[in-house]
Amino acid sequence: MLVLGASSRAQIAPPHIKASKLTKPPKIDGKVDPEEWKEATHVLRFVDPYTGNPTSDATEGWVGYDGDAIYVAFICHDSQPGGLIGREIQPGSEMQDEDTVTFRINPFGTRGYEGRSRFRVNLLNTQSEEISGGRAAKREWRGDWKSATQRLPDGWSVEMSIPWKMLNYPKGKALNMDLNLERFQARTRIGSKWANTTVADRPEYAGFWEGVEAPTKDDRKKIQFLAYTAPEYDHGRSTLRSGLDVRYSLTPTLTSLVSLNPDFRNIENQIAGVDFTRTERFLDEARPFFNEGSDFFDLTGEFTFGRMFYSQRIPTFDYGAKAYGRITPTLSAGVLTTVDTGHTTASVARIAKTFGPKADASIFATRFDQVGRTNNAYGATAFARRGTFSADFQGATEADERGPTDSAYSYAANYEVPKWFSTFKFEHVDKNFDPPLAYVPWQDRHGWYQYTDYSTEYRTGPIRGFNANVYTAHYHTNAGALQQEGMEWFAGATTRKDIRISASRVDTQFADGRDSVTGLGLNFNQSNRFKRFGGYFETGERGSKPSTFFSLHGSVRVLKRLDLGAEFSALRFDGTDQLAIVTIGSELSPTRSITGRFVQRNGKQNAYLAFRNGGLNGTELYFILGDPNSDTFQRRVSVKVVWAF
């Protein structure tokens, strides 16, 4: 592994290109006219990061800019153009395993992950973007960019126009920015990159875009409004709810947001599964207020003693405010406060500093005020990498007013080369460490874990991809009693026929008994969500008691636009937990869709049906029958109108 790491570092040299300022912008029609793109920089030699070699089907790229936008073009040659794949038509889709191209840019040129934005287009010209720091879904707030695609006799082509006002960027002349151009070929399932950032996607290997003269005039609207109104009929009672979000650009790199009476009721939250877990289940966030600028409020990492800010701890609020962004290219900050009148006030603050592409540090604080309780928490994180080795620290303290102080911390040593990652992490959590705004799965914990992962792709043979990992843990309570000790392993392979096979084993002793479980998984059409089905089965003991879990799932597209999905899972352990989910969806157009979901959980049933007309600029309309997040069906009808101005 040491030899592989040294070899990979020696071979990778980030490419440099001079920024080309265009005197006339190209017409974004999908046709890459040589005359229109003659002033842009032409880039070649896209490589496969798994092999380091150019792909057999070449890709060409062009990059240029003017005072209004950045312009990007691709020509994706393909020796079998009949095998091109495009499925998704709604903006923001994942576009998994479709023919796509991606443009990445970090205008701050910090050679790090923070500050990067990406713009992706598939064969059908469906757009998906991730704006640095996080951005709400409404198009007027995310920004409007143009793209067009065209099929060619030997492949396909793409043109993009990305306005500067969509990006946070420093002003000035002769700036150096980080960028990359990427392609995914669905037929071969090979991803290629102009700048080989390796399998680990190391941002310091991104291309250098040198001498950019970023616009000094900021054309974006300083203040924007996003309003909604939702008349509804609920169990014989009519109500009218309305709310308003106001976003104000303090500077081109700092944003503030105020939310008054936000609508959380009509947002479909993640459904918690019934598979066995010894800790509280972590659920992803779907609410726009918390997703806006979310990167600036990520206080501690995923694989540590806990997450010091878990937004699900704030189920609702009457009004909230936040400010976030970059103070300088290497200094960022985020401040957030929500108020549920007469009940709780929650506040979060974070300041982070990057020291080049391989080191960063942050400090943070949270405060929770509730009748009868006030809690304050403080903490810090640090990360540094040198070559293939890295180390990180994360720690926090918390206390109720006039109460004792409790703490938690972790530090880790990591080793990473292409295809391999390994970490050794030590953790300590006090017995009563439980900040009300945090997600801390274990308290009273002292010990370590080791995790090693191997992942690769094969370009020939019956196996397309393989990954395996092993996890070893040794934890005691702070008084010395056994809490967790044992090992887990997992292995999975995907065949050329798109079949996914996996196996896992858990053999761990806990305070309440032993977990000894074997699991097997099988999925068909792994890369195609419109024709995928499979299942998972595990059996053995949990806490030295018999335990069995299984799940079956399937999804299929019929009649060209109608998507059907079903999932059933059951856990037999000290009784039976069962969960059945049936979904239906129809993409009538890129902006109009019908979705529905039926959920049955341990005898309780809920269903809802919704119509959506939105996704681009202009007024959005939703019609909802039922309550997406209730345990049982609700006799409720809601109409929601959203508009930006």
* CATH number (domain holding residue 137): 2.60.40.1190
What pLDDT does residue 191 have? 95
Highest-scoring range by mean pLDDT, 92-96, 105-109, 337-341, 575-579: 337-341
What pLDDT does residue 4 have? 45
- Do 309 and 404 fall into the same domain? yes
Q: Which domain holds residue 378?
A: 283-441
- Do 307 and 392 fall into the same domain? yes
Q: Which of the residue ranges 10-14, 128-132, 256-260 would you say has the lowest mean pLDDT? A: 10-14
- Do 73 and 190 fall into the same domain? yes
Q: Which residue type is seen at 342? A: G
User: Tokens 């603050």 appear where?
Assistant: 349
| pLDDT classification of 22: cutoffs 50, 70, 90 | very high
Within a domain: 68: yes
- Do 50 and 190 fall into the same domain? yes
Task: Enter the pTM of the model.
Answer: 0.85
pLDDT 10s digits, 52-73? 999 999 999 999 999 999 999 9
Q: How many domains does the chain have?
A: 2
What pLDDT does residue 278 have? 84
- SS3 for 183-210 is EEECCCCEEEECCCCCCCCCHHHCEEEE
Q: Could you tell me which residues come within 8 angstroms of residue 446 by beta carbon, excluding any fewer than 6 positions away?
A: 427, 428, 429, 475, 476, 477, 478
- Do 179 and 313 fall into the same domain? no
Within a domain: 299: yes
Give the phi and the psi of residue 574 in degrees, each rounded to 5: 50, 45
Within a domain: 634: no
What pLDDT does residue 382 have? 97
pLDDT 10s digits, 196-237? 999 988 888 999 999 999 888 777 778 989 899 999 998 889
- Do 199 and 331 fall into the same domain? no
- Do 26 and 162 fall into the same domain? yes
What pLDDT does residue 645 have? 83
Residue 384 predicted with pLDDT over 50: yes
- Do 205 and 338 fall into the same domain? no
Residue 451 predicted with pLDDT over 80: yes
- Do 202 and 309 fall into the same domain? no
pLDDT 10s digits, 539-561? 999 999 999 999 999 999 988 88
Q: Is residue 619 within a helix (H) or strand (E), and if so which, with residue range?
A: none
- Do 200 and 287 fall into the same domain? no
Q: What is the DSSP string of 246-279?
A: EEEEEETTEEEEEEES---TTS-PPPP--S--SS
Across the range 295-306, mean pLDDT stands at 92
Cα distance between residue 588 and residue 347, in whole Å: 42
- Do 196 and 305 fall into the same domain? no
What pLDDT does residue 274 have? 72
**Beta carbons of 637 and 233 less than 8 angstroms apart:** yes
Q: Between these two residues, 294 and 148, which has the higher pLDDT value?
A: 148
Residue ending a domain, choose from 194, 214, 234? 214
pLDDT 10s digits, 504-533? 999 999 999 999 999 999 999 998 988 999
Residue 495 is encoded by which pair of tokens?
């065949």
**Averaged pLDDT score across all residues of the chain:** 91
First to last CA, the chain: 55
Within a domain: 128: yes
User: Tokens 């798109």 appear where?
Assistant: 498
- Do 203 and 339 fall into the same domain? no
Residue ending a domain, choose from 183, 214, 245? 214
Residue ending a domain, choose from 165, 180, 214? 214
Residue 348 is encoded by which pair of tokens?
């979060």
Share of the chain above pLDDT 70, in %: 97
Within a domain: 334: yes
